[in-house]
Amino acid sequence: MLVQTRYATESDVCDIAGINITSFRPQPFYQTAFANVNDSSLYPLKYARLLNRLGDPTAHVHVATDAETGQVVGSARWVIPGHLLQRSAHQTVSLSEDAKCKAADPGRFMPPGVNQQAYTAFLGMLNESRKKNLKDGDMSLDFLAILPAYQGNGIGTQLLKWGMGQADALNARIYLEASAEGYPLYCKYGWKVIEEIVLDFGVFGGRNTATYFVMMRDPVPNREENIQ
């Protein structure tokens, strides 16, 4: 299928929030932390957080769209330190007043029923890993998700191209945390495991453990475009 990628706008946030929930709902973290929260109740939190990220000048949020229908089918969010790269005028997202209000305090949209122990443990794991492994000159890939019905069509690769190109041009590493499902794709394009973290969600009332791969990709100077 033919896919186009571009910077996200405020009007895309609805679709990105839906992709986030749909793609990650089967994961042990979601199954535990949001076991008692339905998707419609979780949506406002995801929506507000995405608006918050969209307004962050260091965040570069991209979407992949079906070239025929225009439907948003995937998204990626890169964080690039401002001293390395600043968004140009046409890349800067101007949020509406309502969006700014929501983005200012996403936490107020936290739905009732969230398993706070699981939620806090997961975020704590991410924060500790970043403190230990992420350096000032590093980029990070904070989010990559594709609608399940569109997975396996190379859309993830399309979304990775931009960030890898930027990293190589800036001579920057790219940090990420991968699930077991995403791990093979990142390995394919040069990310190496620097740490494995196992979370036992059974401790928090869940049913499964999950392994997260902390990964880093070194820049490839003068890399030839050879991504299939």
Q: What's the CA gap between 59 and 140, in Å, rounded?
A: 10
Strand locations in the chain (E)? 3-7, 59-66, 72-79, 139-146, 174-178, 191-200, 209-217
Q: Is the pLDDT of residue 227 over 60?
A: no
Which residues does residue 174 pair with via DSSP β-bridges, in sequence order? 139, 217
pLDDT digits (tens, 9 = 90+) for 153-170: 999 999 999 999 999 999
Q: Is the pLDDT of residue 226 over 50?
A: no
Q: Is the pLDDT of residue 3 over 50?
A: yes
pLDDT digits (tens, 9 = 90+) for 66-105: 999 999 999 999 999 988 877 665 567 889 999 999 999 9
Question: How much is the CA Rg of the chain, to the nearest whole Å?
Answer: 17
The CATH label, of 3.40.630.30, 3.40.50.410, 3.60.10.10, 3.40.50.1100, for the domain at 3-217 is 3.40.630.30
Q: Is the pLDDT of residue 225 over 60?
A: no
- Report the percent of the chain where pLDDT is more than 70: 95
3-class SS string, 22-60: HHHCCCHHHHHHCCCCCHHHHHHHHHHHHHHHHCCCCEE
